[in-house]
Chains A and B, each alone.
Chain A
Amino acid sequence: MKTKFRALGAQGTSRRRVRTRLLAIGAVGAVLALGTAACGSSSGKSSAKPGAPSSFKTADQTGGTLTVWVDSTRLAAAQLYQKNNPSVKMNIVTYDGDANGSNYLQTKVNLFNRSGNGWPDVVFSTQNNETTWAVQAGFTAPLNKGLIPQATLDGWATGANTPCTVDGTIYCLRNDLSQTVLWYNDKLMKQWGYQVPATWEDYQALGQKVATEHPGYLVGSAGDSFAPEIYMWAGKCGANEVTGPKAVKVNTTSEACTKMATLLDTLTANKTMSTASVFSTDFQKNAADKVLMMPGPAWFGGAVFQSGLKTPAGQLGVAPMPQWAGDSSPSVGNVGGGTWLLSAHSKNLKAATDFLTWVTTSDDYQGKLAPGYPAYGAAAKTWLAAQSTSGYYANDPAPALTAAANQVWPGWGYTQYSQEAIWAATITPGVTAHKTIVSLLPAWQKAIENYAKAAGYQVGQ
């Protein structure tokens, strides 16, 4: 107990005082004292919080075990680092990676903030919106204020670290870019004499053709919570425009939104658009070899097709995301991409920074092993070269992916509430109950507004 308090520095003294005073109460009181000490520490913590964001006071650097939280996909990265650096004592913990807006990390950090210990040193999150709460909670360390050299930070793709930047300070590092492209089965396309569609109009027409000519085959899936980030984001639907630190504009019934929703409804009705999650047992069992096309982020190639659906080598092709005919500014969506956060409470900043730098920039992991398009430029080059020569893809994926990296529509921002969670709870049950997405757009609007207001946002239209 004692070392724990001491390690926390200045705050430790007052807490220790509370504890000593209470210990004096007596034998039965001992148990009670624990309870009170917990209360005391928590109120002390919450009053100390507001100052946290800009000033970063490091904890005593006592070293010790480096605790790293990763999702199951990033486990390989942490294990490789451990293998390359056997002298670093690591505690690798796998968690859900905050996937689908589960808020696991935020919940835990709030608990650690109250108990005054327990924070992991480095965390991977599949979400790009962690800074919206983690900076305020005093959890993330500012990275461009001495921890990581600017020269290294300059190596990231343009705009890649925008979701990590608050008032010019970088609070996390982007793991991968998740620009969307159109994945397709080259073998089937050629066999059936189809052209890869360049416009959404052609895409929809091809979907209708597949429904009659090859029923059972799919041109996409809208069953995941990130479906709005693939389709609505790419379609420039203004559901999530961030206009200020705590201000958003929400308009889900614009023409851009209804147009894309109508496309999804049409293809869902003729069953060429799946309503099952690509990660569900249902999809992997029944639809794995039925995917003709599927718009999806860069990481679909490795994580969904190669390891999930086991699409054989030489079949998967990559094409640019379709665009609406006549639209002169091509736009694509983005699904996550993941961020790495460094704890401001780390007692082992040197080792933590070293791991963070390695895991985001190294060719060993990002270039050669990572399933997604690395956000760090040099690693992305190695990664693309490896993909092109891997023999897995039917065509060179580099041109489509590289072009899409610069076309992510900037009108969709990152908020504290999760767009994925809202879509899952509002639209998905409706679609399952055979309602059209177009008819659910007003309910989607209402839900986003509600969650935005509950999180303290000003909502405009």
Chain B
Amino acid sequence: MTAGTHQQAGPERAPRRALRLGRAGHGFVAAYVVLLIAFGVMPTVYAIYLAFTNAGDSFSGLSNFTTAASDFRYLPAIGHIALYLVFWLVALVVFVVGLALMLHRLASRGVSTTVRFLFYIPGALAGAASVMVWLFMLDPTVSPVSFLLRGLGMPTFGDVVAPGHLPVLFTLIAFWTGAGGWIVVMFGALNNISSEILESARLDGASAWQTARRIQIPMLRKWIVYMVILAFAGGTQLFVEPTLLSQASVGVAGRDYSPNQLSYDFAFQNNDLNTAAAISVELLLVGLIVAAVFVARSGFFDAD
């Protein structure tokens, strides 16, 4: 899904060249379409099929959905993920835009490349590996920032992973691993804003803050919407962070935390793939609806 939307964003930029290189373009897209069908569309269709059938392959209506909804872990998982999304999306929008603006301002001073590289490094680690890094960070006995954890009144790992802290912890991990890429994307978008506009704003006496608020952020709007849509879809699928945390804390925290984990439990512990599929179809629906609302409200596909 993520890759698909990435692909759509680019081509419009150089329509004439694309026309000339049409054949090569089709070749690239065809290869992508094959992968999209094999690993995106087919599993989705299969999940939808599973969600509406039972173990004997006969149509079962909404029974898988009611089974999922009546599980004692279902509502808590929805609650967890909703709270996490609030933390995660707010942090993402505020800090990514803020840091990208700062980066853009630094661009003239020559440190920008270094900072951009630093922002991007964590994202280069594979997902699970970067969560492992955090497991060390969060254990006061081995953490390099143990003084900070102790200062916050959390002398043991058990205190750090108390249930109330989880949304913040997952936001921290997700931000650290995922935000760097977005900062670089936003930085690129900021570079696309014509320097004439910024120049005339400066001549009119606009401060840095006013330039950001009245010119740069409005012109970034579509990119922000794009980021929110993908981050929302990714956020509802929270899985690696709580699962690894649950293993690291020997089951104290993070077990059955997110709907995706619940789906996994249904599939592999209760051997009930149909209910597992029902939960994933719900996640897909929520992602689609939110994307549709954002696209409709923001005029995402309107020509500039």
Chain A contact residues, CB within 8 Å of chain B: 28, 31-32, 34-36, 39, 43, 46-47, 96, 99-103, 106-107, 110-111, 133, 137, 223-225, 275-277, 280-282, 285, 420-421, 424-425, 428-429, 432-433, 450, 453-456
Contact of A421 among B73, B139, B159, B251 (CB under 8 A): B251
Other A-B contacts than A100-B251, A421-B255, A453-B72, 17 sampled, CB-CB below 8 A, are A31-B35, A32-B37, A32-B42, A36-B42, A106-B269, A110-B268, A110-B271, A224-B250, A225-B252, A275-B158, A285-B141, A424-B252, A429-B163, A432-B156, A454-B71, A454-B72, A455-B270
Contact of A450 among B72, B255, B273 (CB under 8 A): B72
Chain B contact residues, CB within 8 Å of chain A: 34-35, 37-38, 42-43, 46, 55-57, 71-73, 139-142, 156-159, 161-163, 247, 249-253, 255-256, 264, 267-271, 273
Contact of B253 among A223, A429, A454 (CB under 8 A): A429
| CB closest residue in chain A, given B163 | A429
User: CB distance A429 to B269 under 8 Å?
Assistant: no
A137 to B272 Cα, complex, angstroms: 12
User: CB distance B57 to A281 under 8 Å?
Assistant: no
Using known A-B contacts A39-B46, A110-B271, A454-B72, determine if residue A101 contacts B251 with beta carbons closer than 8 Å.
Answer: yes
User: CB distance A282 to B269 under 8 Å?
Assistant: no
Can you pick out 26 interface pairs between chain A and chain B where the beta carbons lie within 8 Å of each other? A32-B38, A34-B38, A35-B38, A35-B42, A47-B56, A103-B269, A107-B268, A111-B268, A133-B269, A137-B271, A223-B158, A281-B141, A282-B156, A420-B251, A421-B255, A425-B253, A425-B256, A428-B158, A429-B161, A429-B252, A432-B156, A432-B162, A433-B162, A450-B72, A454-B270, A456-B270
A residues near B42, Cβ cutoff 8 Å: 32, 35-36
User: CB distance B268 to A425 under 8 Å?
Assistant: no
User: CB distance A425 to B141 under 8 Å?
Assistant: no
B residues near A425, Cβ cutoff 8 Å: 251-253, 255-256
B residues near A36, Cβ cutoff 8 Å: 42
A residues near B269, Cβ cutoff 8 Å: 103, 106-107, 133, 455
| CB closest residue in chain B, given A110 | B268
Counted as pairs of residues, one from A and one from B, with CB atoms less than 8 Å apart, the total is 98
B residues near A285, Cβ cutoff 8 Å: 141
B residues near A43, Cβ cutoff 8 Å: 57
A residues near B156, Cβ cutoff 8 Å: 276, 280, 282, 432
Using known A-B contacts A275-B158, A429-B163, determine if residue A103 contacts B38 with beta carbons closer than 8 Å.
Answer: no
Using known A-B contacts A96-B247, A106-B268, A285-B141, determine if residue A280 contacts B157 with beta carbons closer than 8 Å.
Answer: yes
User: CB distance B162 to A225 under 8 Å?
Assistant: no
Output the least CB separation between A38 and chain B (Å): 9
Contact of A429 among B43, B162, B267 (CB under 8 A): B162
User: CB distance B158 to A429 under 8 Å?
Assistant: yes
A53 to B157 Cα, complex, angstroms: 43
Rank and list the top 3 A-B pairs by shortest CB-CB distance, nearest first. Answer: A424-B251, A107-B268, A432-B158
User: CB distance B157 to A282 under 8 Å?
Assistant: yes
Q: Which of B37, B71, B250 has the most CB of A within 10 A?
A: B250
User: CB distance A428 to B271 under 8 Å?
Assistant: no
| CB closest residue in chain A, given B257 | A425
A285 to B155 Cα, complex, angstroms: 13
Main SS of chain A's interface residues?
helix
A residues near B255, Cβ cutoff 8 Å: 421, 424-425
A137 to B273 Cα, complex, angstroms: 14
A residues near B34, Cβ cutoff 8 Å: 28, 31
Output the least CB separation between B128 and chain A (Å): 15
Output the least CB separation between A273 and chain B (Å): 14
B residues near A34, Cβ cutoff 8 Å: 38
User: CB distance A424 to B163 under 8 Å?
Assistant: no
Contact of B267 among A110, A281, A428, A453 (CB under 8 A): A110
Output the least CB separation between B244 and chain A (Å): 11
User: CB distance B250 to A424 under 8 Å?
Assistant: yes
User: CB distance A103 to B37 under 8 Å?
Assistant: no
B residues near A275, Cβ cutoff 8 Å: 158
A276 to B273 Cα, complex, angstroms: 37
Q: Which of A223, A280, A453 has the most CB of B within 10 A?
A: A280
| CB closest residue in chain B, given A46 | B55
A28 to B267 Cα, complex, angstroms: 30
A133 to B271 Cα, complex, angstroms: 10
User: CB distance B271 to A31 under 8 Å?
Assistant: no
| CB closest residue in chain A, given B49 | A39
User: CB distance B251 to A31 under 8 Å?
Assistant: no
Output the least CB separation between A285 and chain B (Å): 6
| CB closest residue in chain A, given B161 | A429
Contact of A31 among B38, B46, B142, B273 (CB under 8 A): B38
| CB closest residue in chain A, given B34 | A31
| CB closest residue in chain B, given A284 | B141
A31 to B36 Cα, complex, angstroms: 11
A106 to B255 Cα, complex, angstroms: 16
User: CB distance B268 to A428 under 8 Å?
Assistant: no
A residues near B43, Cβ cutoff 8 Å: 35
Output the least CB separation between A426 and chain B (Å): 10
A residues near B37, Cβ cutoff 8 Å: 31-32
A424 to B252 Cα, complex, angstroms: 5
B residues near A101, Cβ cutoff 8 Å: 251
A400 to B273 Cα, complex, angstroms: 48
| CB closest residue in chain A, given B33 | A28
A327 to B42 Cα, complex, angstroms: 64
Using known A-B contacts A31-B38, A32-B38, A428-B158, determine if residue A103 contacts B247 with beta carbons closer than 8 Å.
Answer: no
A35 to B268 Cα, complex, angstroms: 20
| CB closest residue in chain A, given B268 | A107
Using known A-B contacts A35-B43, A421-B255, determine if residue A100 contacts B250 with beta carbons closer than 8 Å.
Answer: yes
| CB closest residue in chain A, given B140 | A282
A212 to B41 Cα, complex, angstroms: 67
A residues near B161, Cβ cutoff 8 Å: 429
Output the least CB separation between B246 and chain A (Å): 8
Using known A-B contacts A32-B37, A103-B268, A110-B268, determine if residue A276 contacts B158 with beta carbons closer than 8 Å.
Answer: yes
B residues near A454, Cβ cutoff 8 Å: 71-73, 270
Q: Which of B57, B157, B267, B269 has the most CB of A within 10 A?
A: B269
A106 to B34 Cα, complex, angstroms: 33
| CB closest residue in chain A, given B269 | A103
Output the least CB separation between A318 and chain B (Å): 26
B residues near A432, Cβ cutoff 8 Å: 156, 158-159, 162, 252
A276 to B42 Cα, complex, angstroms: 47
| CB closest residue in chain B, given A454 | B71
A residues near B249, Cβ cutoff 8 Å: 424
User: CB distance B270 to A428 under 8 Å?
Assistant: no
| CB closest residue in chain B, given A418 | B251
| CB closest residue in chain B, given A416 | B269
A103 to B38 Cα, complex, angstroms: 29
User: CB distance A225 to B251 under 8 Å?
Assistant: yes
A73 to B219 Cα, complex, angstroms: 59
Output the least CB separation between A322 and chain B (Å): 26
